[in-house]
Structure 1
Amino acid sequence: MSQVIKNTVNESIYDDTNRLNEEECFLSKVDLFARDRGINFEATPKVTRKPISLFELYKKVKKKGGYDAINNTENGWSDLAGEFRQLDPTRAPKSLQNLYFKNLIAWEMYDLWHLQSPPPQLLELSSNKNNILQRVKTYNLSPSYKSTDALEVADTKNSNSLKNFYKSIRPPSPVTLERRAEEALNSNYQPLPNAANFSNTTFPIVPVHPLPADSPLQRQVDRSSGPAISIEESLGQGIPGPPLLIRMALALKSRQEDEVDWAVCHLVKVSFERYQEFKLERLPFLAECLVEALGFQISLVKKVSNESDITQYLDRAIGIALVLRNSVLSSENAKLIAKAELIVGVLESAIRCAKTFENVELLHYCLDISETISSYLCIEDEKIGLYLLLCSFLNSSDNAVLIATLRTLARLALNDRNNRLLQDLDEKVVIRIISLTETNNEELVAATLDFLYQYTTYRTNTSGLLSNSAIWILVNQLTRLMMYQAQERVVTIAVANSGKADVQTPNTSQTTSFLPLPYSELQQLVLLREPERSVKWMRCCFESSPDDYVLQTDIWQMYCSDMERAQGPGLMAISPADFIKVSSHAFYNARAMTVSTPLLPVEYVINGIKRRELPISLIGEKYQVCRWKKDNGTLCGETVLGTKSTWAHLQEFHIFPQVLEEKHCRWGDCTYYIHSDQSGGSSVPSHQSLLKHILTHLYDNNLQSTTNEGRKLCPSREFRIPLLLTAVDEQGDATGIALTATLVLRNLVRSKQGKMLFSAIEGHVLEVSTMNPAVAPYVSEMLLGQI
């Protein structure tokens, strides 16, 4: 092949068909063409470990209309691979495409389409393999390109100058819009003092990409460049532009329809897919541009009368409002947008526009924005249009609108420094808000109570409510909601007896070690689902003890060990965190917390429980270990469930007539012995004495012992107290609707007329606080306020 190429160079650059056959001539031309472009040409490449002829590949692609025609056809490369026999149909299509793109794509542009190919780093070395023909045509038509004779491509001087020029420019990387948006979001640059002017050193390097095709801004750039400007004299050539989101902000600021549509389209996608990283503080003037763009589109809607124009401007306004709505989900973005100078006026105009044209989508987006940023807004005058507009929505029949309005007004009142808001509402509106507490919509009731809590912080409002007949409707609903969704819990209190029980207790020295849960119980636990399985296991192996605690790591390792014995390793159906959480379900007083121990300053423990010396079964019976000493001196060690089963086990396997004749107790280390009767009387009484003594070793403190008189003796008396507990947070403090209802009632009671109100409901409120300890601290504040 090298001798062929030398002969070809001496006679002609690309034409020599007399001495070579058709395929060799083709390969020589492509090889020379590739060398001029600085590409290593592979004459006989392999596709899925099989060699393939580039000449045949090029002929087939040319017959089908070229690379783009096959690439834009579904299964185009798969059908082409099928024409080559003995190729892997799964991997060959992709390999054929890569092979053609690397070796023949530039030759196709020259031979089939008579176009000048861009440099290799923009074509063969690029990873963007779509719309090649259109991109090369755009390259040939660009002002920076000077057409030359095809035979002059191999000229060394021009080739070297072209290569040196492209080496000085960073080639653009074909990154998708979403990927470039991600790079812009993850970039760490500081906003400029003057955001309209930026330099290459301020922003991270982003590959240069053209503006959207056929956009007015692109046409303006093309006209301004002109054909007379050379590559070296073009302003900004080779300098990376701003990040994608900055370009979007500039497009919004231009107010050109095509640019705005392009920016809104991509901002909606970015704000939805990457809302957590969509930080406006890192994007100079984008927040202001969004607010101004929304106001501008609303102003255009008011000016035009054509229905198609109204629809067009409304669609743009909805898109911009959606971007703002998605962005304010982050508290940092909400603070930034709340500081925008025009935000209050723009939201008012947008809401009025949505009401005028009955556009529900735009209305809800604007209400969501208002609700989120209201925590950071400070309304100093009750005559501001946005506040008055929100107050008018209190008569709305739409629950979604009503909920958003109540929350927004409540948050605005929270930042009311001048005490001007929520004091000019109509009496009928207030009565309607009170009636909303009777509904079954939990979200609506919660929003209503939040609003009433802020409403009752004003003395004038409280005085007006107490003088209104509707106050008793509100008070009845508040006392009812103080027990909202309360769940029944039973608390057991043990009171020690003053008398002493003459019942022999088991020797504590005999139970120094803990008995593991038997395998039979574990088999029953495996049949249960989590978290019920974990709760049952804890109750079998642990018991309540207010003064004790268990390390979280120890109890989790014990559970894993028992489950591995029952079902094998690696089959845990609950995570360690969830296992620790269910301890409060197994024992009411159990709490996961941290304590200081002699070993470590901080230990993660479960407080309020301790390990059982003898486990219990799922039905509550206690297991025991048979400690009967056999003839060989070893203990039996059999695990038996309950006292009756243990006694039956002793009678069946251990207490034989010879044992009774020995008159010696073999239980553990017991030294009990019955002396022989010297008078020669019957040994039956001695046998009975021995059996009674053996029974003392089988004492089960779960079973209540009785005296001969039938009176039950137990170490303590237990009282079960039923409680109704409402929602609490992680610290055990009240939360949710029950808490808010209690706070509203507290605001009413604290007023001047509140003593009369509290005297009427004192008994009922104290009863509620007794049944629901979560709200008891706030009821105590009501009582202290009456002193």
Structure 2
Amino acid sequence: MAPARQREPSIERTAEYDEFIEKLEKYHEKRGTHFEREPKVGTRHIDLLRLYKRVCEEGGYDKVSDTKGNKLAWRRIASEFLPGSSNVTTQAFIVKSAYYKNLAAYEISDVYKRDPPPKEILEDVSAKGGDLLNRTVENYFRPVSREAESLANGQDKESDESDQDTHKTPKEDKMEIDEPGSTGGRVTRALRHAPPQRVLFQPDLSSTRQTRQSSGNMNSPTPGSGNAHGQTNGTYGSTGAAMTIANYEPRPPLPSAVKPVATPGNNPEHFRNIRNRLAAASRASRGVQQHKGMMLPGTGFMGPNIYIRALLALQSNNVEEEAYALHHLVKISHERGDKYRFDGFPGLAEALIVKVIEVASLFYDVKWEISYRDDEMIQETNVLNGLTGTPDLLRKIQSLTVIDMQDDLLPEDVTAALGRVHEAGLILRNMVMLEENAQYVSKLPLVRDLVVIALNLPRHSTIIELQHYSLEIAEQLTKYWTLDSQDPLYRSLLAQVDSTDRGRIITSLRALGRISMNLEANNRLTDVPIATLQQICDWLLIEDEELRNACLDFLYQYTAVIDNVEILINSVNLEGLVNQLVRLLLYNAHTEELRGRTKPPAKSAPTPETAPKLSSAIIEQLVALEEPERSSQWLRTCFEEDPAGEITQIALWGAYNQAFNDVMQAQPHHKMLMPAKDFITNVSSTFPGATAQVLQISATQQKYTIRGIRPRSVPVDPIGRRPYMRCQWQAPALLNGHADTKHSAAITECGEYAPTAKQMWEHVLSAHLKVPRDDTGKWLLETKPDISMTNGEATSPTLRYNCHWGGCKHFDAVTGSASVYEVGQHIKTHLPDASSKSAQRQKHNRTPSNSTFLAGSGQLNYAQMQPMGMGLGLSNSQPQPPLKWMNTATDERNDAAGLPLASVLVLRNLARQMAKLEGPAEAVDRRVSSSSDGSIQGEESDTWVKRVFAPVKDQLYFVMAHNTTLREYMVSLNKAIAAGGG
């Protein structure tokens, strides 16, 4: 049986390595010793050639094993061959033993050209010690175990040691210092001390505490201490031993302990054990075997946990045990998938893969064998390469004979075996959903063969579930692989796109789109059939979001390569593909309204203290009314209800009189204003929530107020509730006849309000530009400054006009413009256009170029100078029309997601890659472009980018303007189109 787990690539299999191993094998065969080709330490194998070279570099086995001159040498060598090992000491001895058993004798013969010691004193003994070059049968003695040494004593030990001295390897004599008190120095190495006699240890069991004197007498002699006669204490015949014997006193007898008699009443457990022993002896006499020394369930031994038991059961190859393991592993992988990891249970992933591969035996006349040897055996039809995968697996599968099955009903044993295979596939599918498990399984080449075998099984309804599991496994693992165009897995995934199963198509497209996603290598997706490309583009028209997402994921990876884009151009309707992608940019977009100036500010604007200033046109309309309607309209225009608002009666009456003061003096024929008392009463009639109050400030002072109203920040039309326009003309004060543009404090804003843009324009002409009118009310515009007349007086030719609307800097601040017509045209760009035909006007909504003055008199009707539309120049207080955003889906990070994001990424790839294609687009109709005056500019051949993206350019700009989610991606897309000449 093949090993359960893949061997790590720790051996470099070169021609030199193979030649060395063969030579070494012949050497051991001739020597009659066992040779291990690839010694294993932990999970790694030792490269004998590399180890041999490394030890020879250090001076050979004897030099490395010399603990005096080269300490810890084997640890250093072991750390090089086994990096990251936690127990270096143990691993070093294992590496040393591997060298000792396989290479030590060969080193003596190959390097020193000498005959090595016989195997009885080399390979057959432990690797402890060194000095192999000087080891002979005469001077080497097998080491005695520690237990034998600890048990040896007395005469036996002495005899053993005497025997050992005759067989041990001679060692270098050392100078030894004689012990004090010895009769003479050690004359020779052969003289030895007599072994010490045994001293019986007598523990002190007395309960009374001994005195210092008595305890000193009872102490046993200390080995090595001298006596007065100059003899070593504790040796045979010494005075210390004699004194110990002489001072020995027997311990006093201890009182006997009374033990209770065991009866069934006071010790039932004792009699229960006796009964059990008798029953066991009875069973043994009848031939019933006992589990002697084994802890059986129910006797305190819980056994292995469910995880270990399931793993061992799966590796047992027993049908019942496999069924048990798979049943529980399905539940564990589903409920504990985030905790259950392959790296914590070595061999589990390999066992599951092998179990799933067994499905081929149910439908083909083959039983796959897994080989972990890179030799000619792998070329056989029924052998899979467990080291690097099987590159010709598709050819092997095609050569197999399919077992004839009449219908979907399978035999009972086949159904049970297929059920276990399905469970193993489901476990693998559940496990690889965890990222750590996916990384672990991706390093097993055999899992690729599993997916290929499952996807290429004969068409049968019973294997559809397993094939879906295999596709989902591939979807999680392809991001860790690099697959070329001839890889069996790549060809098998492409073949699934031609299926009629929607789930199979979607999963296979996702797996193809994720190839090498987590690697630096590019996923080129080469040799995709033309029919497959056409199908993928056609599926984008189906109202299936999941299928569209899978197709766009594939196209995003496919269009990242210029060669693929060139194939796509020649294979599919590229214009139709781009149109569909552009339509998907606003897929499921939701409309959001954002009002530019109606959004409440962070800090509320302060309430104005005085009523707003109205223009003369508004005042003239109000003066024409009769009282009390005049005051009511003025109040509705300039004030609004506010429960917290308050204004004094004198301030309200003063604002009312000041608003109509100039008109009443200029036109005294109008009826006078209401008296103050009636005006205050009319305030409550106009605003039901307003009440006149008298506040007692002090004993002698009162304050007359009106609560419930406050001044408007922007006056409104009292009938239509339409806000009036504020004049933002910032006329600089004059210093010595010239405008002071250096001091901002001198700048004052007009602040008057006008009901319409036309009246505001007329207000600016009359109040600020001082443009006169003729008798018919038309504006007199100068055509020649030297002959134009103003009120019968010649206009100064040095008179200059400028625009001071809201800090406008269109004209030069000093020189301005000599044409009031030009300045008047420009002022209209600051005003809104309420005309329904504004969208049809030319750029800037200016008067068409063929508009002329009336009868050459320099007069211009207002209809010829309509103000600019699109809400330009609105005052800060006037609300703009709401802006409508068409935003698409976002993810949890508020970034673009879904079909719109995938579509814009594919479009960007197309624009970038088509720009790199040389030459004009083929089969493109030559188009004639004409200028605004109708003259023909010429014929030009369009580029691919221009041909494909020019028809949808307006749609792309619309998406960029209205979709804030895709705005950044749309900007990069339009840059790519512009760079490609689109």
TM range (shorter): 0.3 to 0.5
TM-score (normalizing by structure 2)? 0.38
Structure with the bigger RCO (C-alpha within 8 Å, sep 6+) is 1
Structure with greater helix share of residues: 1
Considering only CA atoms, is the larger Rg found in Structure 1 or Structure 2?
A: 2
